[in-house]
C-alpha cells in the first residue's frame, strides 16, 4: 500500500476565467442587440463568478491511498485508488505503465479500480497517481499531490519440465534418487558378509545357506541409499534482451516481445519447482554484486523464498555485474541461465565444471527477430551470434551440457541430458 499525506496550496482555476468571459460576452451581446433574454443568460455566470471570488482558501489535508486488490487473482493485478480529503471533488491523474494516462474527477468517498495487463514478468510499475482538490465548484484548485508509485513483482508462469538432469555425486541419506553408498530404501547393491552395525533383519538366509562355510557366518543383503540432490540455479541478470533485436538497448518494453529475463525467470521457477517437488535442495543466485542469494533449502518455505526472489529479479547496471564465483554447495548440479553474451557467465560456468560440478548451460535468449535491422546491423548481429556459438562449442568440449529454453523442445532435451551420464 502506498500513501502520501500533504497539505497542498490553493489557487483560482480556469473556470473563473471561463465564467467571466461568458458573462461579459452574453451581457455585451444582449445590450448591443437589445435582447434582454441574452442578458439574462449571462447573469448566472456573473452571479457564480461573484460568489466564487468570495470563497476563501481553506487548509485541507489530502491523503492518496493506492494498493493492490487482494481479492483479484495474482496473475492479473488490480489496483485500488482512494483519496481522503475534506473537499468536494478530486481530480485524479492515473498513469499506467509509460503511455496509458487517464484523468477522472471523483468524490473522496469513491474508490477507483484499475486493472493492468502486464507484458513481462518481474518488477512492474502498476500506477503513478497524482491528485488535486477542487473547491467551490471548480473555482478553487489545489496544487497537485503525487503518491509514491505502486510497484509489484509479477511472478513468471509455471511451465512443467519433468525430472531434472543431475550429476553423479549426490549427498544425504534420504531423498528420491538412488545414491552410491549402501543404505536403506534403494535398489539392490550386493550380498556382503555380516559386519558390526548391520541389522539382523537384513540377513539373507538363502545367501547364508549357499555361501556360508563356517558356523555362525552370516550374509546380509545390502541396498543403495536414497540420496537427495542439490540444485544451484544461477540467473544472469546482466542483460535483458528482447525478441526484436532492433529494440536492444532502447528500453522499449512494449515492442520488444518476450525478453531474456522473462524466459530466465520462467526457467528458474520451472527448475526450482521440479527440484523441490522431488524433495531436493535448491539454492538460488543472481550474478550481480547486489544480486539476491537464497541459501540452500527445501520444502514449502524455500519454494516461497525462491519464487519471491525470482519475481523481483531485474537487470543490474554494468558496474554491479558479478565477477567472482559464488559459493557453491559440494556436489551441486549447477544450472546457469544466461544469454552468454557477457563473458563472465561463461567463465563462471567453465570454472564450476573444472571444479567437478555437473554444469548445464540454459540459453534464455528469445528466438531473435532481425527483420527491422539495416544491412550493417544484421551483419553485426550475425557476428555477435557467431561469437556466442563459439562459446557453446567450448562448453561442449568442456563437458558442459547446453540447452535452449525458448521453444517446446526443452523437456525432451532435458530428458536426453538426464540419460547422459557425465563423468565428474
Q: What is the CATH number of the domain that holds 408?
A: 3.40.50
More confident residue, 143 or 335: 335
**How many domains does the chain divide into?**
3
Residues 312 and 398 in one domain: yes
197 plus 238 within the same structural domain? no
Asked whether residue 167 is assigned to any structural domain, the reply reads: no
Q: From the DSSP assignment, how many helices (H) and strands (E) are in the chain?
A: 8, 19
Give the domain-ending residue among 118, 153, 188.
153
Confidence of residue 234 (pLDDT cuts 50, 70, 90): very high
User: Do residue 252 and residue 371 come from a single domain?
Assistant: yes
Is residue 27 in some structural domain? yes
* 388 and 269 within one domain: yes
Residues with Cβ < 8 Å from 344, sequence gap 6 or more?
Answer: 236, 238, 287, 321, 322, 323
Residue 11 pLDDT class (50, 70, 90 cuts): low
Q: Could you tell me if 297 and 280 are in contact, meaning their C-beta atoms sit under 8 angstroms apart?
A: no
Judgement on whether residues 199 and 56 belong to the same structural domain of the protein: no
Determine contact, residues 419/376, Cβ cutoff 8 Å: no
Mean pLDDT, rounded, for 354-371 = 89
Q: 388 and 299, same structural domain?
A: yes
pLDDT over 70 at 323, yes or no: no
* Confidence bin at 99 (pLDDT 50/70/90): low
The C-alpha atoms of residue 156 and residue 273 are separated, in whole angstroms, by: 12
The pLDDT-based confidence of 287 (bands split at 50, 70, 90) is confident
Contact 67, 150 (CB under 8 A): yes
Distances from the Cα of 9 to the Cαs of 93, 356, 364, 368, in angstroms? 18, 67, 52, 52
| Residues 319 and 272 occupy one common structural domain | yes
Residues 267 and 397 grouped into a single domain: yes
* 207: pLDDT strictly greater than 60: yes
- Please check whether residue 362 lies inside any domain of the structure: yes
257 and 209 co-located in one domain: no
Residue 274 falls inside a structural domain = yes
Q: Which one is predicted more confidently, 159 or 256?
A: 159
pLDDT band at 175 (very low <50, low <70, confident <90, very high): low
d(CA 115, CA 118): 10
> Does 169 reside within a domain?
no
Give the Cα separation of 166 and 348 in Å (integer): 19
246-281 as b/e: b if 16+ CB within 10 A:
bbbeeeebeebbbbbbbbbbbbbbbbbbbbbebbbb
Q: What is the pLDDT of residue 138?
A: 62
**Residue 201 included in any domain:** yes
CA angle 304, 410, 331 (to 5 degrees): 60
Q: Which of 108-112, 210-214, 222-226 has the lowest mean pLDDT?
A: 222-226
Is 160 a member of any domain? no
User: DSSP 3-state helix, strand, coil percentages of the chain (rounded to 5)?
Assistant: 30, 30, 40
Q: Are residues 182 and 141 in the same domain?
A: no
Nearest Cα residue to 288 out of 353, 240, 331: 240
Pairwise CA distance, residues 307 & 304, whole Å: 5
**In sequence order, which residues have a C-beta less than 8 Å from that of residue 397 and are 6 or more positions away?**
none
Buried b (16+ CB within 10 A) or exposed e, 410-421: beebbeebeeee
Domain end point (choices 209, 227, 245): 227
| pLDDT band at residue 49 under the 50/70/90 scheme | low
Tell whether the model's pLDDT for residue 79 goes beyond 80.
Answer: no
- CA-CA distances (angstroms) from residue 256 to 99, 127, 155, 263, 412? 15, 21, 19, 13, 28
Same domain (yes/no): 414, 278: yes
pLDDT attached to residue 330? 80
Are 42 and 26 a contacting pair, CB within 8 Å? yes
Mean confidence (pLDDT) of the chain: 77
Is residue 75 included in any domain, yes or no?
yes
The DSSP secondary structure of 208-264, one letter per residue, reads: HHHH--STT--EEEEEEEEEB-EEEEEE--S---BSBGGGTTT--TTTS-SBHHHHH
Quote the pLDDT of residue 283.
93
Cell numbers for 360: 548445464
Domain limits for position 210:
177-227
d(CA 51, CA 249): 56
**pTM of the entire structure?**
0.74
* 383, 249: one domain: yes
Amino acid at each position: 500500500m502506498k500513501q502520501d499525506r500533504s497539505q497542498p496550496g490553493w489557487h483560482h482555476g480556469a473556470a473563473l476565467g471561463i465564467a467571466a468571459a461568458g458573462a461579459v460576452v452574453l451581457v455585451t451581446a444582449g445590450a448591443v442587440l437589445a435582447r434582454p433574454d441574452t442578458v439574462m443568460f449571462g447573469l448566472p455566470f456573473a452571479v457564480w463568478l461573484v460568489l466564487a471570488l468570495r470563497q476563501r482558501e481553506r487548509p485541507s489535508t489530502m491523503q492518496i491511498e493506492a494498493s493492490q486488490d487482494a481479492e483479484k487473482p495474482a496473475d492479473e493485478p488490480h489496483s485500488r485508488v482512494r483519496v481522503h480529503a475534506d473537499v468536494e471533488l478530486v481530480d485524479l491523474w492515473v498513469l499506467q505503465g509509460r503511455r496509458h494516462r487517464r484523468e477522472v474527477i471523483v468524490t473522496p468517498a469513491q474508490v477507483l479500480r484499475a486493472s493492468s495487463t502486464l507484458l513481462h514478468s518481474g518488477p512492474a510499475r502498476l500506477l503513478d497517481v497524482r491528485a488535486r482538490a477542487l473547491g467551490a465548484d471548480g473555482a478553487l484548485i489545489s496544487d497537485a499531490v503525487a503518491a509514491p508509485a505502486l510497484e509489484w513483482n509479477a511472478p513468471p508462469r509455471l511451465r512443467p519440465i519433468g525430472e531434472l538432469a543431475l550429476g553423479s555425486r549426490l549427498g544425504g541419506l534420504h531423498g528420491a534418487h538412488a545414491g552410491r553408498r549402501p543404505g536403506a530404501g534403494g535398489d539392490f547393491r550386493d550380498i556382503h558378509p555380516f559386519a558390526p552395525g548391520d541389522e539382523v533383519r537384513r540377513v539373507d538366509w538363502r545367501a547364508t545357506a549357499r555361501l556360508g562355510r563356517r558356523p555362525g557366518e552370516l550374509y546380509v543383503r545390502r541396498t543403495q541409499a536414497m540420496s537427495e540432490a542439490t540444485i544451484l540455479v544461477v540467473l544472469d541478470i546482466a542483460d535483458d534482451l528482447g525478441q526484436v533485436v532492433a529494440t536492444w538497448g532502447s528500453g522499449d518494453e512494449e515492442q520488444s516481445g518476450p525478453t531474456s529475463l522473462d524466459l530466465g525467470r520462467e526457467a528458474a521457477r520451472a527448475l526450482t519447482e521440479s527440484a523441490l517437488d522431488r524433495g531436493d535442495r535448491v539454492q538460488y543466485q543472481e550474478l550481480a554484486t547486489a544480486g539476491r542469494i537464497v541459501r540452500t533449502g527445501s520444502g514449502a518455505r524455500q519454494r516461497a523464498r525462491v519464487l519471491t526472489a525470482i519475481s523481483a529479479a531485474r537487470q543490474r547496471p554494468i558496474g554491479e555485474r558479478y565477477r567472482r564465483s559464488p559459493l557453491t554447495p559440494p556436489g551441486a548440479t549447477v544450472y546457469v541461465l544466461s544469454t552468454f553474451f557477457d563473458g563472465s557467465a561463461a567463465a563462471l560456468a567453465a570454472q564450476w565444471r573444472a571444479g567437478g560440478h555437473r554444469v548445464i548451460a540454459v540459453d534464455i535468449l528469445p528466438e531473435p527477430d532481425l527483420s527491422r535491422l539495416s544491412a550493417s546491423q544484421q551483419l553485426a548481429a550475425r557476428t555477435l551470434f557467431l561469437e556466442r556459438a563459439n562459446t557453446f562449442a567450448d562448453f561442449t568440449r568442456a563437458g558442459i551440457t547446453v540447452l535452449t529454453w525458448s521453444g517446446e523442445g526443452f523437456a525432451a532435451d532435458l530428458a536426453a541430458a538426464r540419460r547422459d551420464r557425465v563423468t565428474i
